[in-house]
Amino acid sequence: MSRYPKMFSRLEEEGSGAFVPFVMIGDPSPAMSEAVIEALIEGGADALELGVPFSDPVADGPTIQRAHVRALTGGAGLAVCLDVVKRVRERHPELPIGLLVYGNVPFAVGVEEFYAACADAGVDSVLLPDVPIREGSDFSRAARAAGIDAVYIAPPSASIETLDAVASASRGYVYAVSRAGVTGTESTASTAGLARSVKRLGQEAAAPVMLGFGVSTPEHVREAINAGAAGAISGSAVVKIVEEHSDALVASGSGDEAEGFAAARRDLVAFVSRMKAATRP
C-alpha cells in the first residue's frame, strides 16, 4: 500500500502541510547523491521526489538539465538509481518515495518490467513529466498492477475536462503546476489559478494536491497551502545547492562522512528546515 495516505493523514492531524524536495539521483555521483538524500530527510522532508537522469529532459529548466548531465556522466542509469532507492528505503521504511522519470525510460525497459522493478526497490509513485493524461492509460494500468501510484500533472489554466481526467487517474498525490514553462527558479511560482484547480480536483475526489515548479522560498510554500494545496514540491532550488557544492563533493570521495560533504549537508538541511517550517501555522 502506498505510504502517501498515512503521511497526509499524519500531517492533517498535526495541522501541517507537506514539504517534498526533489533531487537527481546520481548527482554528482551515485554515492554522494545518497548522502544528499539523507541530508534532505534530516532537514525534515515529509517525502522525496527523486529524478532518474535522462538525455533529453524537455520539462526541465537549465539547473535540473545540468543535474541530468552530471548524473549521466557519473554513470547513474536506471539500475544504479533503483539501487540507491532500495538502500534509502531500507533505512526509512515509512517515508514516501516518488520517482520522476521521462517516458522513454519505462518504454525502453518495458512498461510492466519497469514498474515491477520500481516496486521491488520500494518506490511509491512514478511521475512521467512528458506523458500527458490523455496518453497515460497504459502506464497507469502497469503501475496499478505493480502497486505503484501513477502521478499526473494538472497544468496551469487546464480545462475542466483535463482537471477531471487528472483527478480520476492520479494516485498518491496530484502534481499541480504553478505556472507555464519548464522547471526552475528563474520564473517563480504563481498561485493565481491554483485555488480554482484545487477546488475542482477536490470535487472529483482526487488525491491531495501538491504545488510544484518555481517553488524556492518559504513564502511560496505558504502561498501554496493558503491556496488549498496539501503542500509543495521544490526542485531547482535544492538542485542548485547540490550544484554549488558539486566540485567539492566529487573531489571528496563518497558517503556522508566524506571530506567536503559537511558544507553541502549544512546548506541542504537548513534549506529543507526553512521550507518545512513554512508548512506549519
Task: Look up residue 256 and give its amino acid.
Answer: D
Instruction: Calculate the average pLDDT of the chain.
Output: 90
Question: Could you give the CA distance from residue 181 to residue 167 in angstroms, rounded to a whole number?
Answer: 22
203-226 pLDDT tens trace? 655 689 999 988 999 999 999 999
Output the pLDDT for position 203.
66
Task: Please provide the DSSP assignment of 230-256 as one string.
Answer: SEEEE-HHHHHHHHHTHHHHHHH-SST
- Closest CA relative to residue 163, chosen from 132, 140, 184: 132
Q: Are 157 and 149 in contact (CB under 8 A)?
A: no
Give the pLDDT band (50/70/90) at residue 186.
very low
Question: Could you give the CA distance from residue 218 to residue 236 in angstroms, rounded to a whole number?
Answer: 14
* 28 upstream amide cis, omega within 30 of 0: yes
256 catalytically annotated: no
> pTM value?
0.92
Q: Please name the residue that has the C-alpha cell 491531495.
A: 208
Output the pLDDT for position 163.
86
149 catalytically annotated: no
Q: Which of 27, 46, 49, 267 is catalytic?
A: 49
49-80 pLDDT tens trace? 999 999 999 989 999 999 999 999 999 999 99
Angle between helices 62-73 and 236-244 (to 10 degrees): 50
Task: Read off the pLDDT of each residue in 256-276 and give the average, rounded to a whole number.
Answer: 88
Task: Return the exposure string of 246-276: e unless at least 16 CB atoms fall within 10 Å of the residue's CB, then b.
Answer: bebbbebeeebebeebeebbebbbebbeebb
Give the pLDDT band (50/70/90) at residue 101.
very high
Q: Which of 46, 60, 243, 267 is catalytic?
A: 60
